[in-house]
Amino acid sequence: MPWTDDERDQFYKRLTVLAEMMGEPMSPTRLTAYAEALEKHPLEAIVIGLDIAADECRWFPKPVDIRDFGVQSSRWRRQQERSWDERQERQQKALGPPLSPEQMQANIDKLKAVVKGLAAKRRMR
């Protein structure tokens, strides 16, 4: 999914800072090329990749390096796991507590009665 304009601006700023830090020239064309190469990945992962590159690289990273640093980092995996857990928790709250076997059977019996009633109406036509 492409980034929003705000996300793209944030990426431009962060990449420019990294380039300045490493004494690397950064042209508008190069910024656009890096953004186009990386925008199919979540910005959060790319930001992690830029942070890791700033801490660990002795060279200016290519887009694939930034992507790999971010997506393969334990920090990104932990963030994804937290996000997954939060989604599961929200979904469980939305669904409500699990039904007891007696409640499930009662619901099945109600559905059977409804289906039987519909079938009877159909036969009457």
pTM score, whole prediction? 0.64
Q: Cβ atoms within 10 A of the Cβ of 63, count?
A: 17
Alpha-carbon torsion angle 49, 73, 1, 90, nearest 10: -130
State the pLDDT at residue 68: 93
Question: How many folded domains does the chain comprise?
Answer: 1
**Tokens 């992507």 found at:** 67
Domain that holds residue 67: 5-72
What the block records as the tokens of 19 is: 């380039």
What the block records as the tokens of 65 is: 């390096």
Q: How far apart are CA 29 and CA 50, in angstroms?
A: 19
Residue 30: inside a domain, yes or no?
A: yes
Residue 97: inside a domain, yes or no?
A: no
Residue 120: inside a domain, yes or no?
A: no
Residue 35: inside a domain, yes or no?
A: yes
Residue 115: inside a domain, yes or no?
A: no
Residue 33: inside a domain, yes or no?
A: yes
Residue 85: inside a domain, yes or no?
A: no
pLDDT per residue rounded down to tens, the chain (125 residues): 689 999 999 999 999 999 999 999 999 999 999 999 999 999 999 999 999 999 999 999 999 999 999 989 888 888 888 888 788 888 877 777 778 899 989 999 999 999 988 888 777 76
State the pLDDT at residue 125: 65
Residue 123: inside a domain, yes or no?
A: no
